[in-house]
Amino acid sequence: MMKTITLSAWLLLSILLMGKWGHSLENLYIGTFYGVNVSSKGWSSKGVMPAVRMALDHVNRDRSILAGYILQEEWRDSKCDSAAAIKAMLDLVSKPPNKIMFTAPGCSPAAEPIAEAAPFWGAVQVGFSNTSPKLSDDSRFPLYSRICSSEALNNFAIVNLLKHFKWNRVAILVQQDHIFTKTKENLVALLTKNNISIVFMESFEEEHSHPVRHIKACHEGVTGRKYVWILPGWYSEKWWESKIGDTSCSGDDILLAAGNYLATRPLPLGDSKTPTISGKTAVELNDELLERSRKINYPANGFSSFAYDAIWSIALTLHQSSFALQARNKSLTNITYGDREAAELFRRILRNLTYIGMSGIVKFDRVGDRENTIEILQQQGDSRTVVGLCDKSSTMLNDSLFIWEGKIPADGVTNTTEPYEAPRIQTIMTLVTSSLGVLFSLGCLTLNILYRKHRIIKMSSPHFNSITAIGCLLCYIHVFLAVLGNSFVYGKGSRSVCVVRAYLIVVGFTLVFGGMLSKTWRVYKIFTNRRLKRQISGLSTSHLLLKILHGLLLDILVLVSWELVDPLQAKTIQMSDKITNLARESQVHPEEIQIQDGREHNSLGKKTFNSTSFGVSEIVQTVH
């Protein structure tokens, strides 16, 4: 009996206390937006709704936050459309209850007009998935802050990634949308600042079309290890299997074209071991969120952790503001639209928050952007692997986690040069032939000297035979040196060798021509002399040798003058078109070092000189 009375008294006391506590709690409403009924051009943020509800539950359970208040939401469908978002905002502010703060619509196009008009109502907003760089303009959106990072921070990570792999040449494909256009402008400025060249840039109009689909890389041959794609990290898992976009490429073809593509996105979950503001770790919160989403059959959303932290940011802002408002004889429940003092207070406290949330450390900069970490991923097979992290102060990349087809891809075709080498068979045959010519000339010269008193040799003018043999020897040596200069045996260009070759060919020609002409001239004069009594003058060996000497002196004079006035210079000449090796991603330019006249654009100088020298020598010797 006593136990029954005691239990009844305890239940009565509990009911009274609960009734008192429940009566003392006041409702605080925040306005929230979700893109639910979106068109084919929009992005659905419906998947973050379980995260918002979970955050509200956790806030309301924590009696150290907003004691005496229950935080609730009034939501509207922004439809990922600017007009629908404005209509939804007007509906929220025109109907009770009063909303003290707001989240932003999930899509940037829907968030921008509301954020711009927010000062009219004194509506402080917290975005959770808006990445447009435009929203960083604090003068245009003074009451807007966001938990997710701007695409500008993704661009910062992309540039650091390019610098890490020494990729200095990039191409850019961007959809014709004002968000992506602004992102592109920011990226172009960063690339220019870091001396990274943009070799190609194009935009496309297809909505919701992935760039790999757009250029039809699978059909254009833009595949393989020579191409590295860097895509947005917010693409859904196995996006290549979706049927969006007009393409004849299959999912496997697109994945093959994308290869081991890279992606960047804000880090979705914080440290797995550090407790968050809710008292649970990020992993524990994520497990709870997945269970909630599974029960109501809601799709997963990559921005859920940011939506969770957005609610906590609002709750902490209101909690800290409540004390400042009390000092001003105000409370959270009597804040009205257009209260600029309260709006400025909320804005200042919000941007000075620092806490550990589900997505990591939550901290804002002076314009309300989140200073969070960017996650760098690589597609490896059917899944993406985290290969690095990047923030404004540092970039950490684990090279051992990257998977490449062979070595790390280069940023373009590498242009290299190598000395030109004539085909070996051709070189060997020419060297052998010129060597035989040298030996033959030496043999003739030797025989002519040894048998100079022989009747037949003596009748053939042995002096001129020797001169002719020496001239042939010099010409063959010239050929030998010319071939050797472009061969695999001797690959260096030498100015001295080329000058010697010039002397050899000129002097050799003069000796051959002079020796043959002198013999022929003397025989001609003897057999055409019909008056035997007439003395034949100028046909002695010494006289004819003197004529040859005059020709040699003239050659030497012209050669020395040429060397003094317009000396030969070594110049590198491209011998053929580019030879491309696709496997090595390189282009080889065969080059030959030639000796030419010093004057630029005077490539005919040497030919002109040789022709002039030979012609003058012939004329001089003939006249003599």
CATH classification for the domain delimited by 152-267+376-401, as one of 3.30.1060.10, 3.40.50.2300, 3.30.310.160, 2.60.40.1180: 3.40.50.2300
| CATH number among 3.90.79.10, 3.40.50.2300, 2.30.30.40, 1.20.1260.10, domain 25-148+271-372 | 3.40.50.2300
- How many of the other CB atoms lie within 10 Å of CB of 82? 18
pLDDT, tens only, 350-404: 999 999 999 999 999 999 998 788 999 999 888 899 999 998 888 899 888 999 8
Is pLDDT at 532 greater than 60 in this prediction? no
Distance CA 301, CA 49 (A): 9
The encoded tokens of residue 366 equal 């002076």
| Confidence (pLDDT) at 87 | 96
Instruction: Fill in the amino acid letter for 288.
Output: E
Task: Decide whether 25-148+271-372 matches 152-267+376-401 in CATH topology.
Answer: yes
* Residues linked to residue 203 through DSSP beta bridges, in sequence order: 174
Query: Considering the chain, what is the average pLDDT of its residues?
Result: 81
Q: Identify the CA nearest to 123 among candidates 132, 114, 111.
A: 114
For residue 334, give the 3-state DSSP assignment. Answer: helix
Cα three-residue angle 200-203-206, rounded to 5 degrees:
145
How many Å apart are CA 199 and CA 343, to the nearest integer? 47
pLDDT tier at 424, thresholds 50, 70, 90 = confident
Domain ranges of the chain: 25-148+271-372, 152-267+376-401, 424-528+537-569
**pLDDT tens sequence across 85-94:** 999 999 999 9
pLDDT tens digits along 13-48: 343 334 434 447 899 999 999 999 887 667 788 899
Alpha carbons 299 and 40: distance in angstroms, whole number: 17
Question: Which of 314-323, 428-437, 553-562, 599-608 is predicted with the least confidence, judged by mean pLDDT?
Answer: 599-608
Q: What are phi and psi of 389, to 5 degrees?
A: -130, 150
User: How far apart are alpha carbons 434 and 158 in whole angstroms?
Assistant: 61
Region for residue 279 given its phi and psi (left: phi exceeds 0; alpha: psi -120 to 50; beta: otherwise): left
pLDDT at 603: 47
Contact 85, 165 (CB under 8 A): no
- Could you tell me which residues are beta bridge partners of residue 383? 380
Cα distance between residue 46 and residue 31, in whole Å: 15
Residue 163: the pLDDT is 93
Residue 624 has pLDDT above 90, yes or no: no
Which residues are CB-contacts of 372 (< 8 A; sequence separation ≥ 6)? 147, 148, 149, 153, 266, 267, 359, 360, 361, 362, 391
Instruction: Give the separation between CA 594 and CA 588, rounded to whole angstroms.
Output: 19
Kindly state the tokens that stand for 384: 């993406």
